[in-house]
Amino acid sequence: MEEHNLTFEDIHVAREGVALIHGLHMTLSPGDLLMIEGANGSGKSTFLKCLAGLMPLAAGRVTLGEHALASHPHYPANLLYLGHKRGLQLTMTVRSNVNFWAKARGTPELTGAALHYFDLEDVADLPCRMLSAGWQQRVALTRLITMPAKLWLLDEPTANLDEEGVALLHSLIMTRLEQRGIVLMTTHAQVQGERHKRLNLSAIAKTVLH
C-alpha cells in the first residue's frame, strides 16, 4: 500500500456545542506517533472519534495523501480505531472473538499469531466474561494484529493492562511505526522515540507540538 501523510487542515472539534479544538494544523508522516495529552474533558476521545468518522468535525479537513480521509479509496483498510469500549462478545470465547475480527478483515490465518502474541492461548476457550478487565483488554488489542491498518487511532489502549501487557503493546506500536504506519494515541503511559510528537489539548490555544 502506498505511503501517505496524514494532514489536519484548520481542524475544529466541538462536543455538545462546546468548542474543544480551534484551528489545528498539523502533518504526520509515515512512521510518526502522536501522543494526545490533556485533562479530562479536553477532547482527546472526541478528537479520535472525529478522525474515525464516528463524530463530525465542526470544521476543517483531514486528508490522507490527496484524499479526504473518509473518502479515501482504501479507507476501511487504512484505519483501525480502538476506543474505550472493547467491543467484545462476552458470552463468546476468546478465540471466537479474535477469529471474528480476523475473518472480518479477511485474515483468519492471523488468529493464532494474535492469541500467541498476547499470551492468550491458555484462556482461548474461556468465555470473555470470565476474564479480568486487563485480560479482556488484551483480547481487544488482538485487533492490532488481526486487522492490519496503516493508521491506528488508540484511545487509552493501556487501560487495565499489567506491566507485561503494556510492554507487549508498546513493542507492537514500535513495529507498526517501523513498518511506516501512523499511530495516534491517548495514554498516561510514556512511549519514547525520536519521531514521537505530542499534542496537548489542554493548551490547544497555543498548540504545544514538539
* Chain segment 160-178, per-residue pLDDT in tens: 999 999 999 999 999 999 9
- C-alpha span between 154 and 146 (Å, rounded): 15
pLDDT score of 139: 98
Answer whether residue 15 is part of any domain.
Answer: yes
Give the per-residue pLDDT at 171: 95
Q: Are 26 and 190 in contact (CB under 8 A)?
A: no
| Mean pLDDT value across residues 113-132 | 98
Residues with Cβ < 8 Å from 174, sequence gap 6 or more?
193
Residue 202 falls inside a structural domain = yes
CATH number at residue 172: 3.40.50.300
CA separation for the pair 7, 99 (Å, rounded): 33
The pTM of this model reads 0.89
C-alpha cell at 55: 463524530
Residue 5, judged by CB atoms within 10 A of its CB (0-12, 13-18, 19+), counts as: middle
What pLDDT shows up at residue 71?
A: 59
| Total structural domains within the chain | 1
206, pLDDT greater than 50: no
* Region of residue 43 (phi > 0: left; psi between -120 and 50: alpha; otherwise: beta): left
Cα(132)–Cα(53) distance, integer angstroms: 30
35 located within any domain: yes
**Residue with grid cell 495523501, as numbered in its chain:** 65
Q: Note whether residue 148 is domain-resident.
A: yes
Domain span holding position 202: 6-206
Q: What is the mean pLDDT of residues 102-114?
A: 95
What is the pLDDT averaged over residues 91-106?
A: 96
Mean pLDDT of 193-205: 72
Mean pLDDT on 114-122: 98
- Mean pLDDT in residue range 44-48: 92
> Does 1 map to a domain?
no
Would you state the pLDDT for residue 164? Answer: 96
Answer yes or no: is 144 within a domain.
yes
- Mean pLDDT for 105-134 is 97
At residue 210, does pLDDT exceed 50? no
pLDDT confidence tier of residue 118, bands split at 50, 70 and 90: very high
Whether 175 maps to a domain, the answer reads yes
pLDDT of residue 189: 59
Q: In whole angstroms, give the CA distance from residue 118 to residue 165.
A: 7
Quote the pLDDT of residue 66: 78
192 has pLDDT over 60: no
Residue 20 has pLDDT above 90, yes or no: no
Q: Is residue 95 part of a domain?
A: yes
